[in-house]
Chains A and B, each alone.
Chain A
Amino acid sequence: MDEQQLLDELLKKHKAGTLKPSDRYTIPPQPMPLQDSVKRRSNVNEVALGYTKTQAQLEALRCLQCKNAPCVEGCPVRIKIKDFIAPIVEGDFKKALDIIKENSLLPAVCGRVCPQEVQCQLPCTVGKKFKAVDMSVSIGRLERFVADWGKKFHDESTPAVAAETGKKVAIIGSGPGGIVVATDLRRMGYDVTIFEAFHKPGGVMVYGIPEFRLPKAIVQEEIDQLKTMGVNIICNFVVGRTKTIKQLMEEDGFQAVYIGVGAGLPVFMGIEGEHLVGVYSANEYLTRANLMKAYQFGKGADTPIARLKKVAVIGGGNVAMDSARTAVRLGAEKVYLVYRRSEKEMPARVEEVHNAKEEGIEFHLLQNPKRIIGNSDGLVAAIECLKYELGEPDSSGRRRPVPIEGSEFTIDVDTVVVAIGNGANPLIGQTTPGLNLNKWGNIIVDENCKTSLQGVYAGGDIVLGAATVILAMGQGRTAAAAINEYLKNK
């Protein structure tokens, strides 16, 4: 039986009210159609192509519509998941989209980059039944399908803006958190200005997450929508240097400020050889490739990037996967992913690990560089690694990697990309007296995202250390509500 026939039969039963959970369990989980793994190695087009209409309906039929909806608890912004899945079955995608949009402003982004397997899809009853999270209903793929359908077929209306309150709010950073705060507050009628240090808005969605995982056109649409709503976006403005928060509030009349400046300073390993030419932070490598379009160097773009043959990426998170897969697309013949724990402990999304392997990236697990070896010109020539084994669980709950003495060996490489995380950017802290920071330099906030300063709120990576797009959005939503509470009585 082909997909369509299966769907027709299931829909018949569904309409007659005779579709039982046991029937739903028999529906095969719908795989994400992907761009061919060989072809995609040499282009930057999106890898995951999105569900077809039939696939989306079949996947939606797998949802049991549980009364307690455990999935919603797993979502940082509490999207009404079972409520948006129900109309997908009926083919009413507009209704599905409207329900998502009640809670999430960027479904096309979140459907693509959220780690659903550790959020909404983790507690899914279907996954529990099969004792496998990859058997859960693919909520993220459905979200993406609905969002893409909306962009394609349904002329999306710009969210309505309430009567002007005449009060000004400054938002620092145009990443996912900043966009949510801006949209929410603009809807309530505030005069909102976003300040962005880069020359293009979008934050990590533009400089960090690659085109092949999140097309920049999607981010641009969200930015355009903000502009249509009347949000001011000022690029090339670095708060703390061009003007301080104090100046914005005292001289320019901003009554509240949201700090969403994101991931700050890249962390290096502190090992010998990290200053050699050919050693990049993942931030630099990805920014050159994405924001500056270095993959088109000489064909329009002016920013160069090392196009070398053997690349080692250090780390096991999504940023490491993005870097390794970018290296493949820049023409590297060998790309190694070096991670000191095992695959089970990798913080990267399972889907991205799978895609990376398919693209030929070689995983070196339970290994970590001890030093980077250079040649006489100061270029990277090799990395010397140590082998590791897993010991007792550490504070993160993952088993601690322990180096095996005397296990040194070398891998010949000419580029090393360090993707082991970020520290807090010191700029705002240094230039904002009275703003309380923790010992790592992250901003301390209360449950409403309020900082130690009156009228100043913060969220995302600068508060959480390392977060995701959706967590930043969740905090943005909390902060927007708190800013409204604060300002409406002022």
Chain B
Amino acid sequence: MADIEAPLVAAAAKPGQFVIVCLSTAYSERIPLTIAGVDAKKGTIRLVWQAVGKSTAELAELRVGDKVENILGPLGKPTHIEKFGTVVCVGGGIGNAPLLPIATAMKKAGNKVISILGARMKELLILEEEFKTISDELIVVTDDGSYGKKALVTEPLEEICKRTPKPNLTVAIGPAIMMKFCSEVTKKFDVPTVVSLNTIMIDGTGMCGGCRVEVGGQTKFVCVDGPEFDGHKVNFDLMMKRMNAYKKQEAQALEEYKKHKCKIGLDG
């Protein structure tokens, strides 16, 4: 997690939008990351990411005071915020981070906010305290039962959908597979569901089309048409296949990077 000074982005950012980070101009990748918070006064934005590849690992190496050469944003359409009634906010893993500003805005708009936070284990659960302060009800689950209830997020989600009256809206942000199953659950109960997609992209402004997904049988670009879509219409299976396109190269690059790092460590 990092707070990064980017006053123009901070001034314009709304919940649900993302930025593209590029560590060095010559050779670095462009990494899309959803904005997890904004301090407009300080002119900073908060980013939360998981070090899964070389570029995100490099990003994790940054220390206080370091510079990121390029940040572009805010990108994508902001979340549609209004008073819906009861809104269930479902976060999985680091998805909790971009979910927080949305849940906060939903609460501010007068909604009853029920938050479900999921993580693989206790150590990986983030932002519980922050969600506690803005939620009318908070449910925590872990895959291994090390904290909260041992369950997947879909279990409490289904229980909440069974209540009368049923919730008016669900917002689910997390791994693709989680969003897929959340959408399947809410579909059964006909509860509208918004998901935030984080597909592979380059420019983030509509030019490359790498981020395209199938929504309701139509091709949509996550960067300009999204990142939020109707979860009941997204073709998640196709999307998950596309997200694995560079798995091999990503692993190879991370491996190389770690090896290199180790050597530096030994020399030092």
A residues in contact (CB < 8 Å) with B: 197-200, 235-238, 241-243, 263-266, 268, 270, 274-278, 280-281, 283-284, 287-288, 291-293, 296-298, 300-304, 306, 377-378, 425-427
Contacts and interface: CB of A to CB of B under 8 A. Distances in A.
Contacts of B256: 298
Contacts of A266: 207-209
A302 B12 contact: no
B148 interface: no
B8 A237 contact: yes
A235 B70 contact: yes
Nearest to B22: A199
A265 B245 CA distance: 21
A234 B245 CA distance: 32
B70 A425 contact: no
Contact of B203 (A198, A243, A278): A198
B253 A281 contact: no
A298 B213 CA distance: 28
B202 A304 contact: no
Interface residues of B, number: 47
- For the complex, would chain B's binding face be called helix, strand, loop or mixed by DSSP majority? mixed
Contacts of B238: 275, 378
9 contacts: A238-B72, A238-B205, A242-B9, A242-B12, A266-B209, A275-B238, A281-B208, A284-B210, A297-B253
Nearest to A277: B245
Contacts, number: 123
B244 interface: yes
Nearest to B212: A275
Interface of B: 8-9, 12, 17, 22, 25-30, 54-55, 69-75, 202-210, 212-214, 219, 221, 224, 235, 238, 241-242, 244-246, 249-250, 252-253, 256
A275 B214 contact: yes
B73 A304 contact: no
Given A277-B242, A304-B253, A378-B241, A425 B207 contact: yes
Given A242-B73, A275-B242, 7 more contacts: A238-B75, A238-B204, A242-B12, A265-B206, A270-B219, A284-B208, A303-B202
A302 B72 contact: no
Contacts of A276: 241
B246 to A, nearest CB: 5
Given A268-B219, A377-B241, A236 B70 contact: yes
Contact of A284 (B8, B74, B209, B250): B209
Nearest to B74: A241
A283 B203 CA distance: 10
Contacts of A284: 202, 208-210
B56 to A, nearest CB: 11
